[in-house]
Structure 1
């Protein structure tokens, strides 16, 4: 950390070059004085800030007596940097002013491990507008490697981000920087927020950094430089599947997903998805999101879904609402949903299906602190909503509840090994269930080892687990297992069933995109695994 901060001092000297040449001298307790940097230039004002930052970094490494001394010789500056010995505090008292400040912030002052506590105190300062805070030793008694004494906190100048300078892709919306990255002009300096900008921008599909952000400090102002570049953000997915038939044959299933993002430089999102899980069913979904209208922390979202089950029925589902940015990681949703189902043939009535319409009002929550939008290796993603509505069918009205949730956890284990866990659940609560209003599950995005969208459920819970071995940043091989509990109360397929699946797969990057292969075999209840009914899922993701 100390060498890195000296490089920070070097950068300040380069950025604010003035007329006085500066000679940097690193004082080593064992070797005496030796030159560390030479022929650097810096204004004396910015030099003060740089030396505060250097002192803070040295104290983080337990060089509590670190100090800097400036001598002016003729027309040049000599800067002496001394770390002193490295030691831990055994007993520490703070001056009365520092104690009052800490008491006001309600920071507990422990009697054990004062060195760790002082580092936490410095972190608190640098995350609340004081990036140059340091500890000044008033008096001390050093015996062995431990020290007792008194100290006081030197907060240094209060720093706020006066402006944000965009380099490269300058069309990015300021509201996106504020609500997605957590930065805006006038904010107090926060080291944690700035150091995590690279991780946060990896969650935004259409943005990236050409180089790391930098902060330019001076006593007059501070400027945050963002070197943003527009990434390939549009995506095309194609998935093909081979499903087994009862007569021993196979049928080809498919899915096409087109995603357009930020085409208008507004952060908007448009997705069109077509799916054919089997010979009897087709689905078409259209969804859009428009964030931050009038630069306010909310967005408009909508979706239109069509599902046709051979010649039996047609379902049309509209979903619209608002997304509110509760924090950088969390979103709240207020949604309205309208469902309509039309029977296409009289034979469908035999199965219990019926014409119906339904209206729902829903509340939802999204949470995402993962480290990448496409292939995370660490973090949590959650989505869920619950809604109450009324279904009209057979000239009767019936109250209903619907709830759905998804939880994904990405966890590094050791080296290239990582774990992935996914929990999916949904439920429909009503007095009378219709087959054409049930959830459809099965396949690569829910329960593997069974045919796509082949299971009807009024309620379900699916737990998936994977062990992954990374080949590179976007490629890995995996071992997987799924377990599902499925309930159907429609009378069409009554009862509770348990499903299991095991398999293996591989995702690897090509010049054109990501290719995914997953082979899985499943079973129901106490039956044996049926390898003749195994499934092969082939997925492809291309960005452009």
Structure 2
């Protein structure tokens, strides 16, 4: 046997006598001697846990890669009369009734878990003062806690630019507090889910002078984003000049290795309408657990109005997967032209306003990967309220404002959920849904939500829909051929209400297909979609193509 070609890379285990344990046949084969020895130890351990305290393995003969053994099982101990021993009742309460070995083993596990989560990772517990009682045993529990260990500064290995102070705060492992295996596992989950870097391997622990210093092997992700389309067209309104159109998305993450983010988003698809959004975030400000970010956005809607928004956010990451974002915003809307409203007697659908908004946004993130998830779920919910003031515009007759309460409360609720189903190695399904509503006694069109496009209901232009209330759902089967590369079909369904339309309930439906293809420097995405509403028939003539190359660096 040991001279065969197969056995040169295998280790064999043989039995002198057959036994009633997990041995499938006379011989078992292993990849190496360590696996073989581990298997033998596990057999003995399993027998002990079942009450066969005399169980042992006798090595009879070893030749080359073959080992012949005999397993001794011995008599079974049916029950144990267990006493408290030196364990405090706060740690465990021993019942007075006799226990099976399974119950005793569970007590051992519970005691050791409590010990390793309160600063004693080297604790061990054993049976002491054993006495034979008929078919059982009488014994005391004896616990040796070992040295008390506390957390020390964590260490970073690998090519990551991440600073130690940032990772220490992200991990929530406070220096000087008792060691806890549970805290380490939670910290590993938080660090492994970061959009900035990957955890290359499970953390190692360096124990020295009653201190535990965790070592995390990090590898930075290509999380920065650059995406854009630039168009130069003749300006029909100003002969001899050009019109710059396009889109720019620039997102810079983890600047300086401190969780500092900056993003710029700009869109201009015609001469009269454009959008600009800026956001800056600083993590763990002044060594606290708070993230602080600022935002500014501007929307110029053709010749109708200009909306501006400025806000401050205070974010807090819980020890679990919840992230809380407290924010305050100041929103302003101003009419560009009042010519169409010079003779109105009622407040028009758009008007000048100011809204001070206060709110909370909560995110529950259970995805397996932040950038390229295959399974898991993510839920977001935002609530806000504040007072809105309608400003009187001298270009609108004064009688249009008579009888109106110009200062009224306004509130909004919006939520989003996504679920990734992992079916097989190359098959998955993405399902998402979102809903929202906004309420005010004098709700304006320039208050409403804007929907449509690649991030909500495909098959329509960006921000095509105005909605006071909305609900939409996305369903997307995916065929993966890479970590973040896949072919997909999709179907989107939306219900939207606009109070300024006679037929205010809008039903939007779209379907199509596309590809997301990841390269070393980014992701190329191409989507072909056909959409239908009451005003737009289902026709290839109205189909939309969404495409772009999102550069990651």
Name the TM-score, length of structure 1 as normaliser. 0.73
In the TM superposition, residue 257 of structure 1 has moved relative to its aligned partner by 1.0
CA contact (8 A) 2:315 2:326 kept: yes
From the superposition, tell whether residues 498 and 263 of structure 1 become closer, same or farther in structure 2 (CA, over 3 Å).
Answer: same
Aligned mate of 2:213, from 216, 219, 223: 223
From the superposition, tell whether residues 148 and 376 of structure 1 become closer, same or farther in structure 2 (CA, over 3 Å).
Answer: farther
Counterpart of 1:274 in structure 2 is 266
Counterpart of 1:165 in structure 2 is 155
Q: Deviations over 1:125-149 (max 9, x none)?
A: 54554444556356699xxxxx976
CA contact (8 A) 2:54 2:74 kept: no
1:346 aligns with 2:335: no
In the TM superposition, residue 431 of structure 1 has moved relative to its aligned partner by 1.2
- Once the two structures are superposed, the pairs formed by residues 82-93 of structure 1 within 5 Å of their partners are none
From the superposition, tell whether residues 126 and 337 of structure 1 become closer, same or farther in structure 2 (CA, over 3 Å).
Answer: same
> Equivalent residue of 1:100, what SS?
coil
Determine the C-alpha separation between the residues in 2 that align with 1:87 and 1:451: 78
CA contact (8 A) 1:60 1:119 kept: no
Aligned mate of 1:407, from 417, 422, 428: 417
From the superposition, tell whether residues 265 and 442 of structure 1 become closer, same or farther in structure 2 (CA, over 3 Å).
Answer: same
The size of the alignment, in residue pairs, is 470
CA contact (8 A) 1:239 1:537 kept: no
Counterpart of 2:454 in structure 1 is 444
Aligned mate of 1:464, from 453, 459, 474: 474
In the TM superposition, residue 278 of structure 1 has moved relative to its aligned partner by 6.1
1:524 aligns with 2:513: no
In the TM superposition, residue 404 of structure 1 has moved relative to its aligned partner by 2.0
Determine the C-alpha separation between the residues in 1 that align with 2:424 and 2:54: 37
In the TM superposition, residue 273 of structure 1 has moved relative to its aligned partner by 0.5
Counterpart of 1:264 in structure 2 is 256
Determine the C-alpha separation between the residues in 2 that align with 1:58 and 1:193: 32
Counterpart of 1:244 in structure 2 is none
Q: Deviations over 1:206-263 (max 9, x none)?
A: 333455421134674433222334443422134799xxxxxxxxxx995321011222
1:297 aligns with 2:297: no
> Equivalent residue of 2:423, what SS?
strand
Determine the C-alpha separation between the residues in 1 that align with 2:182 and 2:229: 40
Counterpart of 2:316 in structure 1 is 324
1:205 aligns with 2:195: yes
CA contact (8 A) 1:255 1:275 kept: yes
From the superposition, tell whether residues 499 and 162 of structure 1 become closer, same or farther in structure 2 (CA, over 3 Å).
Answer: same
CA contact (8 A) 2:44 2:55 kept: no
Counterpart of 2:307 in structure 1 is 315
In the TM superposition, residue 469 of structure 1 has moved relative to its aligned partner by 2.7
In the TM superposition, residue 460 of structure 1 has moved relative to its aligned partner by 0.8
CA contact (8 A) 2:156 2:164 kept: no
The unaligned stretches of length 5 or more in structure 1 are 1-27, 38-53, 69-81, 142-146, 242-251
Determine the C-alpha separation between the residues in 1 that align with 2:197 and 2:47: 38
CA contact (8 A) 2:276 2:297 kept: yes
Counterpart of 1:478 in structure 2 is 488
- Once the two structures are superposed, the pairs formed by residues 419-458 of structure 1 within 5 Å of their partners are 419-458=429-468
Deviates more, 1:209-218 or 1:453-462: 209-218
In the TM superposition, residue 272 of structure 1 has moved relative to its aligned partner by 0.2
Deviates more, 1:342-351 or 1:354-363: 342-351
- Once the two structures are superposed, the pairs formed by residues 116-135 of structure 1 within 5 Å of their partners are 117=106, 121=110, 125-132=115-122
Counterpart of 1:214 in structure 2 is 204
CA contact (8 A) 1:92 1:150 kept: yes
In the TM superposition, residue 365 of structure 1 has moved relative to its aligned partner by 1.6
Aligned mate of 1:361, from 358, 363, 367: 358
The unaligned stretches of length 5 or more in structure 2 are 1-12, 18-31, 57-69, 232-243, 393-405
Determine the C-alpha separation between the residues in 2 that align with 1:442 and 1:534: 14
1:542 aligns with 2:532: no
Determine the C-alpha separation between the residues in 1 that align with 2:381 and 2:252: 24
Determine the C-alpha separation between the residues in 1 that align with 2:76 and 2:177: 34
CA contact (8 A) 2:422 2:428 kept: yes
Determine the C-alpha separation between the residues in 2 that align with 1:123 and 1:57: 21
> Equivalent residue of 2:369, what SS?
coil
From the superposition, tell whether residues 60 and 173 of structure 1 become closer, same or farther in structure 2 (CA, over 3 Å).
Answer: farther
Q: Deviations over 1:153-201 (max 9, x none)?
A: 7564344333423334586344532443333433444445545666533
Determine the C-alpha separation between the residues in 2 that align with 1:105 and 1:178: 39
In the TM superposition, residue 348 of structure 1 has moved relative to its aligned partner by 5.6
Q: Deviations over 1:255-276 (max 9, x none)?
A: 3210112223321111000123
Q: Deviations over 1:331-383 (max 9, x none)?
A: 22221111111211224648621111111111222232322221122333233
In the TM superposition, residue 477 of structure 1 has moved relative to its aligned partner by 2.2
Determine the C-alpha separation between the residues in 2 that align with 1:508 and 1:232: 15
Counterpart of 1:381 in structure 2 is 378
From the superposition, tell whether residues 159 and 149 of structure 1 become closer, same or farther in structure 2 (CA, over 3 Å).
Answer: farther
Aligned mate of 2:89, from 73, 96, 100: 100
CA contact (8 A) 1:131 1:189 kept: yes
Determine the C-alpha separation between the residues in 1 that align with 2:340 and 2:99: 72
Determine the C-alpha separation between the residues in 2 that align with 1:240 and 1:60: 68
From the superposition, tell whether residues 481 and 457 of structure 1 become closer, same or farther in structure 2 (CA, over 3 Å).
Answer: same
CA contact (8 A) 2:525 2:547 kept: yes
CA contact (8 A) 1:298 1:322 kept: yes
Provide the alpha-carbon RMSD of the alignment: 4.5
> Equivalent residue of 1:472, what SS?
coil
Q: Deviations over 1:462-510 (max 9, x none)?
A: 2222222322222222232222221112x25651122222222221211
Name the TM-score, length of structure 2 as normaliser. 0.72
